[in-house]
A and B are shown apart, each in its own frame.
Chain A
């Protein structure tokens, strides 16, 4: 047996090991910062100050986190069914179209709380639709989902540029974006949450979609661990042969899992489109779909872990912006390197420290 199968207590598996990974990522990032000639400690303190130092910073952090929760859940649902959905980025982008169409058609007739649930459905449907073709090709034709979803990211991006430049653009304007939504198409900010803690939200676009994200996280947990469908998805994800033996229909389960995954990615659009910019813009997803992969990996594909990982990445985004603003030597690209390191250690090298932890734990138990 390899050490991978030795059981460890949960606090090590889900607490200590991720923490260790994070610390190593920060240490190496610190080294990189030092190489550039800046002080790693100053950078760290700027990072934390920028992301958590005041109400506005926290608001931005949570705003980013909201998007990452949706895309993280999207990736996680697919992973539980054994599917690596790289297409959350494109599904979120197309989801934005669904969300914007709802907002554009309803905003002048109804208040936001009527628009919102319909926009959730619209964004979800559009996201799911964008996941459907790759899902269908995987289920019925065996085309690999990783390849098809990557291709659909590009197709989606091209389609959206076309629509925004030629169809949805406001006549006479230069910017490829829709008109600004009226109040009925805008999600309220969560300034009152900040006020509960005596902080001010300021300009941060932290909005109601955060609450939707939390509710959806709970629903995903329910789906994966408490429903028959979730049981079937997990069976398929872990052991396709056992699923075939148990009579779990492969094609149907794959397609449903991908539709759900696409819908979750699509819902992400609510946050930037209706919660922040109040219009549909080119490139509004901004890589959140890809960050979702790291968030899901780091959060062990569990909604609770995903929420925490999403907040961590929110901190890195917001704090990173702050660092690059305060330390001109550290460019936006450097921040990407640091984020990459976190992804590398928390996601890809997830099990690097496991064998050592197993040895330590066993020695500790014996002694």
Chain B
């Protein structure tokens, strides 16, 4: 590999107001390799990639592609330079076909027919050359997430990308789909493409990359050959201190059932049955984990238990009393706390100041109000106490919630729900988009709650998280609970169950 490097960044620097997102970044990505970029949320990975892709402009520094300095004004320019990007959130038109999506923005000419024909031929070639199979006439909304991602990759390849950037590509995939993606990436690499993989999952880095660079607080702190480093070393480089990668917990000591779900059936907004005749118990002092690929009914199950979504049939019992008619406010009074899957849309109002979110849902409690008025002084004092206890940074209850990092936002939600001392805690994706340091902290809190005798229902698409925290694991597939396992069940077994292949 005596070629010039595919991408070279020299002294890239970028500030957003007071935030120094990228400090004097130097990075060399060799041609025909898979280069991992790892770092906590807010370390500056996404900013750096956005600079390469032309979304932002560096305040100073130089980008070289194949040894030539380039100015990347916008994404059009990036594509012209041979850089393609697969975003974390897909940029696809749901009710277009695969072919239409791939052509979008590169239709070629006034009339579609000729473009369609040549696109179809090109797609065929890409398919055979790289093993990127997908039905060109399928509608995007009918494809599973793994295939949608493949369409994104095809889109980039169709535009002649030589360098492919993938931003957290496995967040929405099953283990099997992730493996498939990695196989595709390896084929692409072997065909001479260069791949930059952004992730915060250490395992993926170890599994697939050739080289890995670690970012921390806007700086590039290290670059290692993947073969010559360890997970522990990378974690330490990311966080800047030694971290515990395994959650430490003792034996569970389960008591009586707190939450009982009986023959529950729930439909989504379109009327599709998402939870189908599901029954289980959660006992005091245990964590029941629900594993499954996103979209198999876990979200609807959580929402039904939390009183946000009305079940079609079946029963939900808290302490033996039926609660499926209760609204979320009433459920909180009964001692059911809910850390929702999506903190941006449910758990928090991002436009509100921190203290307002620290009482969301509990704002009618006596301690927080005087008659019809809110007792702002009491609320802010309470918010400040939680900020200190949960080390929420920056420690300012008057700051707009959107200005906290993902990990700190999640801590605001966790603090609000846990500090009310509920007897039943339902949790969705407790650490999605949360950095390692905060993950450790949140996991410890959840275990503490269990040890204090609370019943906990945990939904996560991170199989590692489910296995680390749960005392029992239920696997959901297509709305059914397809089996129960202990946490020492192998990843392969659980993975197959999640894919609906074995019970």
A233-251 contact mask (Cβ, 8 Å, vs B): 1 or 0: 0110011011011111100
Whether B373 lies near A228 (C-beta < 8 A) is yes
Q: Which of A216-240 contact B (CB under 8 A)?
A: 222, 226-229, 231-232, 234-235, 238-239
User: Who on chain B is nearest to A226 by CB?
Assistant: B373
- Candidates B331, B352, B374; contact of A247 at CB < 8 Å: B331
Q: Which residues on A sit within 8 Å (CB–CB) of B403?
A: 7
Whether B16 lies near A6 (C-beta < 8 A) is yes
Whether A242 lies near B360 (C-beta < 8 A) is yes
Whether A247 lies near B372 (C-beta < 8 A) is no
Would A362 and B361 be within 8 Å (CB), given that A226-B376, A245-B340 are in contact? no
Whether B327 lies near A247 (C-beta < 8 A) is yes
Q: Which residues on B sit within 8 Å (CB–CB) of A1?
A: 16
Category for how many chain B residues contact A? 35 or more
Would A249 and B373 be within 8 Å (CB), given that A228-B364, A242-B347, A242-B348 are in contact? no
Whether B17 lies near A247 (C-beta < 8 A) is no
User: Who on chain B is nearest to A3 by CB?
Assistant: B16
CB distance from B443 to the nearest CB of A (A): 23
A7–B353 Cα gap in the complex (Å)? 13
Whether A228 lies near B347 (C-beta < 8 A) is no
Whether B360 lies near A235 (C-beta < 8 A) is yes
A229–B369 Cα gap in the complex (Å)? 11
A227–B345 Cα gap in the complex (Å)? 23
User: Who on chain B is nearest to A236 by CB?
Assistant: B349
A238–B330 Cα gap in the complex (Å)? 23
B356 at the interface (CB under 8 A from A): yes
A234–B351 Cα gap in the complex (Å)? 10
User: Who on chain B is nearest to A223 by CB?
Assistant: B372
Would A242 and B346 be within 8 Å (CB), given that A228-B372, A228-B373, A362-B17 are in contact? yes
B262 at the interface (CB under 8 A from A): no
- Candidates B338, B352, B356, B364; contact of A245 at CB < 8 Å: B338
CB distance from A60 to the nearest CB of B (A): 38
Whether B347 lies near A245 (C-beta < 8 A) is yes
How many A-B residue pairs have C-beta atoms within 8 angstroms? Tell me: 77
Q: Which residues on A sit within 8 Å (CB–CB) of B352?
A: 234-235, 238
B308 at the interface (CB under 8 A from A): yes
CB distance from A63 to the nearest CB of B (A): 33
User: Who on chain B is nearest to A244 by CB?
Assistant: B308
B87 at the interface (CB under 8 A from A): no
Whether B349 lies near A242 (C-beta < 8 A) is yes
B15 at the interface (CB under 8 A from A): yes
B397 at the interface (CB under 8 A from A): no
Q: Which residues on B sit within 8 Å (CB–CB) of A244?
A: 308, 328, 346
B332 at the interface (CB under 8 A from A): yes
B307 at the interface (CB under 8 A from A): yes
A173 at the interface (CB under 8 A from B): no
A5 at the interface (CB under 8 A from B): yes
Whether B402 lies near A231 (C-beta < 8 A) is no
Q: Which of A348-366 contact B (CB under 8 A)?
A: 362, 365-366
Whether A231 lies near B374 (C-beta < 8 A) is yes
Chain B CB count within 10 A is highest, among A222, A231, A239, A245, for A245
Whether A365 lies near B17 (C-beta < 8 A) is yes
Whether A241 lies near B346 (C-beta < 8 A) is yes
Q: Which of B300-321 contact A (CB under 8 A)?
A: 306-308
A342–B319 Cα gap in the complex (Å)? 61
Q: Which of A5-19 contact B (CB under 8 A)?
A: 5-7
- Candidates B15, B308, B340, B363; contact of A231 at CB < 8 Å: B363
Q: Which of B387-406 contact A (CB under 8 A)?
A: 400, 402-403
A245–B356 Cα gap in the complex (Å)? 15
Would A227 and B330 be within 8 Å (CB), given that A238-B352, A242-B345, A247-B361 are in contact? no
Whether B328 lies near A247 (C-beta < 8 A) is yes
B329 at the interface (CB under 8 A from A): yes
Q: Which residues on A sit within 8 Å (CB–CB) of B16?
A: 1, 6
Chain A CB count within 10 A is highest, among B330, B338, B363, B402, for B363
User: Who on chain B is nearest to A230 by CB?
Assistant: B374
User: Who on chain B is nearest to A361 by CB?
Assistant: B17
Whether B332 lies near A247 (C-beta < 8 A) is yes
- Candidates A228, A238, A246, A366; contact of B328 at CB < 8 Å: A246
Query: Which 4 residue pairs of A and B lie closest in terms of their CB atoms, listed nearest first?
Result: A247-B329, A247-B328, A246-B361, A245-B346
List 20 A-B pairs, Cβ < 8 Å: A6-B17, A226-B376, A228-B363, A231-B363, A232-B363, A234-B349, A234-B352, A235-B360, A238-B352, A239-B346, A239-B350, A241-B345, A242-B348, A242-B360, A245-B308, A246-B360, A246-B361, A247-B330, A247-B331, A362-B17
- Give me 11 other A-B pairs in contact (C-beta within 8 A), A1-B16, A244-B308, A246-B360 excluded: A6-B17, A227-B373, A228-B369, A228-B372, A231-B363, A235-B360, A238-B352, A242-B349, A245-B328, A246-B361, A362-B17
- B residues with a Cβ closer than 8 A to A are 15-17, 306-308, 327-332, 338, 340, 342, 345-352, 356, 360-361, 363-364, 369, 372-374, 376, 400, 402-403
